[in-house]
Amino acid sequence: MSAHVEIPRPHETAPGRFTAELVFPAASKGRAQQHHDVAWALAGVHGLDASTPYRVNPRWSVYEERWGNRERHGGLDVRRLRVDGPARALARYLVALGRVLDDVEALATRAVRVFGAWKRSIPAEPFLEYEDASTMRTRAREFRADVLHALAQRLGAPQRSVAGRDSSRPLWEQHAAVAGEVWDAAGGVDLERADDDAVAALMARMVPAVVAEAERLAVLEAARVERERLEAERVELFRQVDEACAREADEADAERYARDGQGSLFPMSEARPALVVPPPMPVKTRRAPSRRGRLRPETRAALSGAVRVIPAEAVERLYGERPSFRVPVSTDRRRYAPAA
């Protein structure tokens, strides 16, 4: 496996033909485009059909396209590549792809080392007179990208001679010459070599269309059974809560009627409305509220002036002792207070 490409399990899309959609997780879009070019060129070497999927722009709208930021509806997604072909040819291609990407990246790294050696040499001094450290870092990064692009163009193409270096020009303008040098020094990149054991293991992982459909139906059936189980648990929970509430209400009514002597006027009715279980609400993920800078309710009320806080010492000085602020309630009023 290579860190420059994510290879999913291929699946059968037609009798005898399999498809794999590759993903290039490079941090920058330009580097992902270069890996995409390498994979595209290698697909032609192995006799496979390659295509770039279309990606819809999530920010697109008619307003944004016509009167906003000129957002387009979408475009080709260079971070993905769809490859189709026979099973064995596709397996050999996927096994060789990771190695080829690693080899091309290694050649680009060697080219950057050549650039660093030239930068420290005497012939480079006239070109570095007006360059500082930040511009040289930018030039080295762009030089590596240009070399990687030149190496991708050499894959699968007829080898042609490249002119040597020109001492009258800076090296960052001669990326093609440096790419040819590191290519010849390494003896090129073998585009067709693949480990037979890895190819056999990958072919064993390829899923026919019937098996893939069976797996999809099994996942859907498991999801349906789980939904039914959760719905049954929810209905049972509502029923238990309804019974508990009804039982508490009956006990409160019986106690109040017995205390007031009105049991014959208001007999308890056993007929209650049918239990209605509301449909489940979609759960919307929310971010936990931040507790920074939030005051307690009593502190906020005291600061706003709605409540005046009197210290306990002042109360004792006025009343002589700590007073009780309990409001007396008459017996009759306590008797006819509504039940909780």
- 53-64 confidence digits (pLDDT tens): 888 888 788 777
Give the whole-number percent of the chain exceeding pLDDT 90: 3
CA distance 302 to 54: 60
Of how many residues is the chain composed?
Answer: 340
Q: How far is the CA of 42 from the CAs of 105, 159, 185, 196, in angstroms?
A: 15, 15, 21, 18
CA distance 318 to 320: 6
- Per-residue confidence at 307, pLDDT binned at 50, 70, 90? low
- 283: which residues sit within 8 A by CB, 6+ positions away? none
Per-residue pLDDT, 15: 81
What's the average model confidence in pLDDT over 295-311? 61
Q: Which residue has the higher pLDDT, 72 or 224?
A: 224
What's the average model confidence in pLDDT over 32-47? 88
Q: For the chain, give the mean pLDDT.
A: 78
- Per-residue confidence at 337, pLDDT binned at 50, 70, 90? very low
Q: pTM here?
A: 0.57
Per-residue pLDDT, 319: 62
Q: Are 22 and 80 in contact (CB under 8 A)?
A: yes
Nearest to 39 by CA among 175, 191, 167: 191
Q: What is the dihedral of CA 303, 306, 309, 310, to 10 degrees?
A: 140
What's the average model confidence in pLDDT over 112-126? 87
Q: What does the block give as tokens for 83? A: 């490859």
Q: How far is the CA of 69 from the CAs of 29, 66, 171, 311, in angstroms?
A: 21, 8, 39, 61
Per-residue pLDDT, 151: 86
What's the average model confidence in pLDDT over 21-32? 87
Q: Which of 83-92, 157-166, 295-304 shows the lowest per-residue confidence on average (mean pLDDT)?
A: 295-304
Q: Are 86 and 18 in contact (CB under 8 A)?
A: yes
Per-residue pLDDT, 221: 92
What's the average model confidence in pLDDT over 286-299? 61
- Per-residue confidence at 83, pLDDT binned at 50, 70, 90? very high
Nearest to 54 by CA among 27, 81, 31, 93: 81
Q: What is the pLDDT of residues 204-236, one digit of tens each?
A: 778 776 676 777 888 899 999 998 998 888 888
- Per-residue confidence at 175, pLDDT binned at 50, 70, 90? confident
Query: Phi and psi of 36, rounded to 5°?
Result: -60, -40
Q: Give 137-192 as a DSSP string.
A: HHHHHHHHHHHHHHHHHHTTSPP-------TTS-GGG-HHHHHHHHHHHHT---SS
Per-residue pLDDT, 249: 78
Per-residue pLDDT, 64: 79
CA distance 102 to 108: 10
Per-residue pLDDT, 197: 87
Q: Which of 38-42, 66-70, 146-150, 325-329 shows the lowest per-residue confidence on average (mean pLDDT)?
A: 325-329
Per-residue pLDDT, 125: 84
Residue 163 scores a pLDDT above 80: no
Per-residue pLDDT, 82: 92
Per-residue pLDDT, 30: 85
Q: What is the pLDDT of residues 230-275, one digit of tens each?
A: 888 888 888 888 888 878 877 877 777 677 666 555 555 555 566 6
CB atoms within 10 A of CB 136: 16
Per-residue pLDDT, 3: 81
Q: Which residue has the higher pLDDT, 126 or 211?
A: 126
